[in-house]
A and B are shown apart, each in its own frame.
Chain A
Amino acid sequence: MAGNEVTVENGEHLGTLRVTDEVIAIIAGLAAVEVDGVYSMSGGLSGGIAEVLGIKNLSKGIKVETRAGKIYINIYIIAEFGARIPEVAWNIQEKVKKTVERMTGMKVAEANIHVQSVNIPRE
């Protein structure tokens, strides 16, 4: 992720701004977990190891790709039971896009949501 950087022109004479994919992932992750209907982010095996070892991973469940200057964000979530998934997904897409665009000044081309499972409440 570290080698995949996006350059944003800050102005003709001001210089450039570089924001790494890792930073975009953290911004997206923090925005996504705030949406109602998201139980948690789904981090896979590496996220599981980090969690077991007590390492807080703010970009858990987020994969960022930059292709031809456009940002593609893949968001892996566990939904709350009872949540309407299409609505939740739309809210995440909106919130993540707005937050990333506001904080970085870069355009998000796609925010793809992957619902990995639902959290079943224990009786």
Chain B
Amino acid sequence: MKKLRRILVVVSILFTACISAIGVYSSLDNDFIYKFGLQVRESGFFSGTRMGLLFGSLLFLIVVIAILFTFPRKDRDKESIRISNAGGTVSISAQTIESLAKLVASNTPNIYDIRTTVVDIDDKPTIEVRAKVPPTISIPAISAQLQDSIRNKIMETTGTDIENVKILIDGIIDSAKK
């Protein structure tokens, strides 16, 4: 998503730069747009479907950029663990906790398709881990192992205890396909 956002920002900058260049050039040459329009019409290249596609694509680009900038990213800065010390405050974002939990889970054998979410961060965070497992393993045993590893890693890295690690096994994976 971050990469897509960057690409769209670059595309929108290039698009705006092109429009500005056309604007500057047409201010120097009054007939530029008229002559350009005539040339396009005479060439017959941009006729019918092509013209429709071009305008459709431009409209789509404008709508995407408008959506991108109108709806701000979810303000996850507020969703963070806050620790006060003598120097100020230290806030650790939910994304940090989720990344750590995901890394621990992905290093645990027989756990696949992992998604981690911090569902509650008020005092001590609660983490929900969704994953798939192969059919041959004991789910309670691997869940206990995963809960323990995640709790320890987050405690070690952030110095914060975890309220709850919720494990949701939402599928069985064919171990031959993994």
Q: List 10 A-B contacts (CB under 8 A).
A: A48-B9, A49-B9, A82-B157, A85-B157, A89-B90, A97-B87, A110-B89, A112-B90, A113-B88, A113-B89
Q: Which residues of A contact B2 (CB under 8 A)?
A: 48
Q: For B103, give its contact among A53, A90, A120 (CB under 8 Å).
A: A120
Residues 1-31 of B contacting A (Cβ, < 8 Å): 2, 5-6, 9-10, 13
Query: In the complex, which range does the number of interface residues on chain B fall in?
Result: 20 to 34
Q: Which residues of A contact B47 (CB under 8 A)?
A: none
Given the known A-B contacts A84-B159, A93-B88, A110-B88, are A117 and B6 also in contact in the complex, defined by CB atoms under 8 Å?
Answer: no
Bits for A74-112, please: 1 = Cβ < 8 Å to B, else 0. 000001011111100110011001000000000000111
Interface status of B122 (Cβ within 8 A of chain A):
no
Asked if A86 and B158 sit within 8 Å, CB to CB, the answer is: yes
Instruction: Report the minimum CB–CB distance from B162 to chain A (whole Å).
Output: 14
Query: Using a CB–CB distance below 8 Å, which chain B residues touch chain A?
Result: 2, 5-6, 9-10, 13, 77, 80, 83, 85, 87-93, 95-96, 99-100, 103, 156-159
Number of residues on chain A facing chain B (CB within 8 A): 28
Known contacts A85-B90, A89-B90; 17 further A-B pairs (Cβ under 8 A) = A48-B6, A49-B9, A49-B13, A81-B103, A85-B92, A85-B157, A85-B158, A86-B159, A97-B87, A111-B88, A112-B90, A112-B91, A114-B91, A116-B95, A117-B93, A118-B157, A120-B103
Asked if B92 and A84 sit within 8 Å, CB to CB, the answer is: no
Asked if B90 and A116 sit within 8 Å, CB to CB, the answer is: no
Query: Using a CB–CB distance below 8 Å, which chain A residues touch chain B?
Result: 45, 48-49, 52-53, 72, 79, 81-86, 89-90, 93-94, 97, 110-118, 120
Instruction: Report the minimum CB–CB distance from A28 to chain B (whole Å).
Output: 12
Asked if B87 and A111 sit within 8 Å, CB to CB, the answer is: yes
Q: For B77, give its contact among A53, A72, A89, A114 (CB under 8 Å).
A: A114
